[in-house]
């Protein structure tokens, strides 16, 4: 309501300045008349087009200085007459107007504790959010469409939707997400030998050897939401578990009137992307194996001694690294593709040296174990 009154008041005062200035110009021109017209035009632009609170604050501060300058100019350098005193009154009124507007607008433009608009939104929601309660948050994307988030009790994002044409469409998708999230199976696509699952499912896959991604897909192969990227399968499964636990909340907060947020990458919602990424990672791992196979003969440890290991090829590294087999009795051959842990993420890599026993002096201990076979050669 304040902003509406503010804009109407600014528009009325701006028009009055322009009309008064034009009449004064035609009746009895003096030096302050052009500045009065300019002031009126500034007021009209301010009222009609300036919407951002911070810009309004800066505009107000500038206008106050501008008005003070005009008062000094008209009452020090120009002869005092009735027109000057009328103009002086206008300037005082403008200064009061802008001071009030600056005081009211400035606190609204600041963010609390360095939070972003999207992070600060739940604390100022029109519909109150009870502490410790998960909720769905509907926002307007910078494309003009609508997206929603699933938030946990601490307002951390558990899942993000694609774009919808309206808030009602987003709410329909929320209802479907709530229905399927609890019963959907996990489709572990890091293992390319597994048959693809159908129906509602969480697709979990390795993205270019960089991160683990997961998302909820319905029976029609439409991606409902994407989950935050994870470093390894354990973290990805934990993210899925957190979503399952909080997805049943009935709390929906509509914040479509807030400042728009960035929409997620549309490519993440393509149903074929997960399998494409898995195949791409497998091909890259096998290509790396071809450049890492060495003619050097490794000397095996004497029978009953040493440690059984498997040589792994990383595309960006010139040497072979050794890992323990996934379990006793599991054998590998050159060209097999496996998933292994690293310091930062789980990686899809190729086998360059099949099972061999080496003495500890030829290994960098401690050794990590292969997590699983992705694809056999």
Distance CA 162, CA 172 (A): 13
Express each pLDDT in 210-235 by its tens digit. 678 899 999 998 999 999 999 888 89
Residue 1 has what pLDDT? 44
The predicted pLDDT at position 374 comes to: 84
The confidence score (pLDDT) of residue 106 equals: 53
The mean per-residue pLDDT over the stretch 57-86 comes to 60
| pLDDT 10s digits, 278-288 | 778 888 888 88
Domain ranges of the chain: 2-109, 117-269, 290-375
Q: What is the mean pLDDT of the chain?
A: 78
pLDDT-above-90 percentage for the chain: 31
Sheet holding 372-375, edge to edge: 320-323, 307-313, 346-358, 337-341, 372-375
- d(CA 269, CA 281) in angstroms, rounded, equals 19
Per-residue pLDDT at 354: 92
Residue bearing the bigger pLDDT, 122 or 364? 364
With CA atoms as reference, report the closest residue to 90 among 5, 24, 1: 24
Checking DSSP bridges between strand 346-358 and strand 307-313, what pairing results, if any? antiparallel
- For the domain covering 117-269, report its CATH number: 2.30.29.80
pLDDT at 68 over 80: no
Determine the average pLDDT of the residues in 337-357: 88
Banded pLDDT at 45 (limits 50, 70, 90): confident
Question: Average of pLDDT values for 96-115?
Answer: 52
- Band of pLDDT at residue 118, cut at 50, 70 and 90: very low
CA distance 121 to 263: 16
Q: What is the residue whose two structure tokens read 């440890």? A: 301
User: What's the pLDDT at 253?
Assistant: 92
Cα dihedral 75, 76, 79, 80, rounded to 10, equals 30
Neighbours of 78 (CB within 10 A): 14
CA quadruple 68, 73, 76, 77: dihedral, nearest 10: 170
pLDDT at 48 over 60: yes
**Closest-CA residue to 261 (of 159, 139, 162, 167):** 139
Which residue in 293, 311, 295, 296 sits closest to 358, CA to CA? 311
Beta-bridge mates of residue 37 = none
Give the mean pLDDT of 267-296. Answer: 79
Cβ(306)–Cβ(351) under 8 Å?
no
According to the model, what pLDDT value does residue 353 have?
Answer: 92
Average pLDDT over residues 123-131: 51
Q: Are strands 320-323 and 372-375 parallel, antiparallel or unpaired?
A: unpaired
Instruction: Kindly state the average pLDDT of the residues 144-155.
Output: 93
Res. 113 pLDDT band, cuts 50 70 90: very low
pLDDT, residue 50, reads: 65
Q: In the predicted model, is pLDDT for residue 148 greater than 90?
A: yes
pLDDT score recorded for residue 115:
36
Nearest to 310 by CA among 286, 284, 291, 338: 338
- Write a three-state SS string for the chain: CHHHHHHHHHHHHHHHHHHHHHHHHHHCCCCCHHHHHHHHHHHHHHHHHCCCHHHHHHHHHHHHHHHHHHHHHHHHHCCCCHHHHHHHHHHHHHHHHHHHHHHHHHHHHCCHHHCCHHHHHHHHCCCCCCCCCCEEEEEEECCCCEEEEEECCCCCEEEEECCECCHHHHHHHHHHHHHHHCCCEEEECCCCCCCCCCCCEEEEEEECCCEEEEEEECCCCCEEEECCCECCHHHHHHHHHHHHHHCCCCCEEEECCCCCECCCCHHHHCCCHHHHHHHHHHHHHHHHHHHHCCCCCCCCCCCCCCEEEEEEECCCCCCEEEEECCCCCCCCCCCCEEEEECCCCEEEEEEEEEEEEECHHHCCCCCCECCEEEECC
Q: So what's the pLDDT on residue 108?
A: 42
Choice among 34-48, 97-111, 296-310 with the minimum mean pLDDT: 97-111
């Amino acid at each position: 309501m304040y902003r509406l009154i503010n804009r109407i008041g600014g528009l009325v005062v701006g028009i009055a300045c322009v009309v008064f200035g034009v009449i004064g110009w035609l009746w009895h021109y003096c030096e302050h008349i052009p500045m009065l017209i300019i002031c009126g035009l500034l007021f009209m632009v301010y009222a009609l087009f300036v919407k951002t609170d911070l810009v309004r604050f800066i505009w107000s501060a500038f206008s106050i200085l501008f008005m003070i300058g005009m008062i000094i100019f008209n009452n020090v350098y120009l002869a005092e007459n009735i027109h000057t005193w009328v103009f002086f009154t206008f300037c005082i009124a403008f200064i009061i107007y802008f001071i009030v507007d600056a005081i009211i607008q400035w606190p609204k433009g600041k963010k609390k504790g360095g939070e972003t608009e999207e992070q600060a939104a739940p604390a100022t929601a029109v519909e109150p959010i009870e502490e410790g309660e998960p909720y769905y948050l509907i926002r307007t994307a910078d494309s003009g469409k609508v997206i929603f988030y699933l938030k946990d009790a601490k307002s951390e994002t558990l899942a993000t939707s694609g774009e919808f044409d309206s808030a009602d469409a987003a709410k329909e998708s929320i209802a479907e997400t709530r229905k399927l999230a609890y019963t959907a199976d996990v489709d572990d696509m890091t293992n390319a030998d597994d048959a693809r699952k159908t129906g509602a499912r969480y697709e979990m896959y390795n993205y270019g050897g960089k991160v683990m991604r997961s998302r909820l897909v319905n029976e029609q192969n439409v991606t409902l939401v994407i989950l935050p990227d994870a470093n390894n399968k354990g973290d990805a499964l934990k993210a899925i578990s957190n979503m399952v636990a909080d997805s049943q909340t009935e709390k929906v907060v509509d914040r479509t009137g807030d400042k728009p947020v960035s929409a997620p990458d549309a490519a993440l919602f393509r149903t074929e992307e997960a399998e494409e990424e898995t195949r791409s990672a497998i091909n890259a791992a096998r290509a790396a194996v071809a450049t890492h196979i060495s003619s050097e003969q490794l000397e095996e440890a004497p029978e009953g001694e040493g440690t059984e290991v498997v040589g792994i090829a990383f595309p960006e590294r010139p040497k072979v690294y050794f890992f323990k087999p996934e379990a006793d009795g599991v054998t590998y051959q050159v060209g097999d593709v496996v998933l292994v842990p690293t310091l930062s993420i789980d990686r899809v890599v190729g086998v360059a040296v099949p099972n061999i026993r080496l003495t500890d002096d030829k290994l960098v201990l401690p050794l990590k174990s292969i997590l699983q076979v992705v694809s056999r050669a």
